[in-house]
């Protein structure tokens, strides 16, 4: 390992919490979904995004409880980076449970997200809405009940500060926010002139990238932000300076979220990088070329799981067969997707090195090349 990082792999991860002067970044991911759990020192925790275990409970809550932490008092910040299904499952329950946490999400929203927030903020019920909108509704209803004002993330905004720790949002950019305003403006009835066609905002355009600075250490959490968003971050003159030692790779390693300058200008040499794989309807990330590219930028790269859905099962079933199965009361399940976590810990002292722990299906990224190929 480079720069004295020690990596250990084992089936179980030590069920002990970090010391008060120890930082932690844990990436939790089944094959579909991701969440980052951060210990900011002194027993203060933050959670970024949510995914659920097979029994439906949010993984960040399971993890914190498993190491003896009470999420209802210890979690001080929850961030939903964007409202894509693989990042927000269980978010409503997270917000309800973590009563001491401030909630933060992107300032730029899709029209459907905007409407879901408006409805829940005004206490209106919603019917026939998507899974994402249901989570939004649950989150904002819970915040309204406890009279907690949500924070809206944008470029170069300090969203949290306690002791030696600071969290900054680096996105969504003003460009994304303006796109949101123009898109939402279409909801206002207009008389006369025909509407202009405006390119819609995509969830990944508006994803919240976080910069976490803890004493002399910095961490960059890339969410699913795609390349145009990264270009705007790189051009910013108001974002925190310095180079991060750890990187949550954006958009599951996808090429459309890659920008070489991020590695050159925002990350230390051989930064510790981690990702969660993604798979849906026969498509999966990262691809072999993505893995190779990432490994050309750092030797310290990890994935929460290497397993890919077998190609046969990934292909959707014949519709008629599917209907027959459904009518016979047969539950159609995806094959079980392995679970895993990549955990980094480091003492707050200057010059301390990071320790990497891999649990469950988590592996070094080199091990993923053969599986995906």
* Those residues with Cβ within 8 angstroms of residue 230's Cβ, 6 or more apart along the chain or in another chain: 209, 250, 257, 259, 261, 262
DSSP string, 213-264: EETTEEEEE-TT--HHHHHHHHH-SSS--S-EEEEE-GGGG-GGG--HHHHH
Distance (Å, rounded) from C-alpha 147 to C-alpha 161?
Answer: 21
Select the span of 81-89, 119-127, 179-187, 203-211 touching Zn ion (CB under 5 A).
81-89
Query: 290 or 357, CB closer to Zn ion?
Result: 290
Closer residue to Zn ion, CB minimum distance, 40 or 225: 225
Q: Is 205 in the site for Zn ion (CB under 5 A)?
A: no
Of 86 and 259, CB closest to Zn ion: 86
Non-local (6+) Cβ contacts of 26 within 8 A are 36, 37, 38, 63, 341, 342, 343, 344
Site stretch for Zn ion (CB under 5 A), options 102-110, 157-165, 224-232, 363-371: 224-232
Among 49, 86, 232, 290, binds Zn ion (CB under 5 A): 86
Is residue 81 within 8 Å of residue 49, measured between CB atoms?
yes
Q: CB of 309: closest distance to Zn ion in angstroms?
A: 16
Going by C-alpha positions, the residue among 343, 327, 330, 333 that lies closest to residue 313 is: 333
Smallest distance, Å, CB 322 to Zn ion?
26
Among 113, 205, 224, 357, binds Zn ion (CB under 5 A): 224
Of 82-90, 116-124, 307-315, 335-343, which segment contacts Zn ion by CB under 5 A?
Answer: 82-90
Output 171 or 213, the one with its CB closest to Zn ion: 171
Nearest residue (CB) to Zn ion, 233 versus 348: 233
> In this structure, are residues 338 and 371 in contact, taking their beta carbons and an 8 Å threshold?
no
Binding site for Zn ion (CB under 5 A): 86, 224
């Amino acid at each position: 390992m480079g720069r004295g990082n020690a990596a250990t792999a084992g089936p179980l991860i030590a069920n002990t919490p970090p010391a008060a002067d120890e930082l932690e970044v844990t990436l939790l991911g089944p094959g579909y979904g991701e969440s980052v759990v951060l210990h900011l020192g002194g027993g203060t925790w933050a959670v970024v995004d949510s995914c659920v275990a097979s029994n439906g409970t949010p993984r960040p809550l399971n993890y914190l409880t498993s190491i003896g932490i009470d999420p209802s008092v210890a979690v001080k910040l929850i961030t939903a980076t964007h409202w894509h299904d693989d990042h927000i499952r269980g978010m409503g329950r997270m917000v309800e449970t973590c009563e001491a946490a401030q909630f933060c999400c992107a300032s730029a929203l899709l029209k459907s997200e905007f409407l879901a927030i408006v409805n829940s903020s005004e206490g209106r019920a919603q019917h026939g809405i998507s899974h994402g909108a249901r989570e939004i509704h649950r989150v904002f209803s819970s915040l309204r009940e406890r009279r907690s004002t949500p924070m809206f993330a944008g470029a170069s905004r300090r969203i949290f500060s306690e002791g030696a720790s600071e969290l900054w949002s680096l996105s969504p950019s003003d460009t994304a926010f303006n796109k949101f305003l123009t898109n939402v403006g279409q909801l206002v009835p207009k008389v006369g002139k025909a509407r202009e066609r405006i390119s819609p905002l995509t969830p990944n355009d508006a994803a919240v990238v976080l910069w976490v600075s803890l004493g002399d250490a910095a961490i960059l959490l890339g969410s699913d932000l795609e390349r145009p968003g990264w270009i705007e971050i790189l051009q910013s003159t108001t974002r925190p300076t310095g180079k991060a030692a750890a990187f949550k790779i954006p958009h599951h390693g996808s090429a459309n979220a890659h920008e070489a300058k991020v590695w050159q200008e925002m990350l230390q040499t051989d930064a510790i990088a981690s990702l969660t794989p993604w798979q849906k309807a026969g498509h999966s990330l990262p691809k072999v070329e993505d893995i190779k590219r990432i490994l050309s930028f750092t030797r310290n790269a990890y994935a929460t799981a290497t397993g890919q859905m077998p190609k046969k099962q990934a292909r959707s079933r014949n519709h008629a067969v599917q209907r027959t199965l459904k009518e016979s009361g047969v539950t159609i399940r995806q094959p079980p997707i392995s679970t895993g976590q990549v955990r980094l810990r480091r003492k707050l002292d200057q010059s301390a090195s990071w320790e990497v722990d891999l649990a469950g299906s988590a592996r070094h990224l080199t091990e993923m090349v053969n599986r995906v190929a």
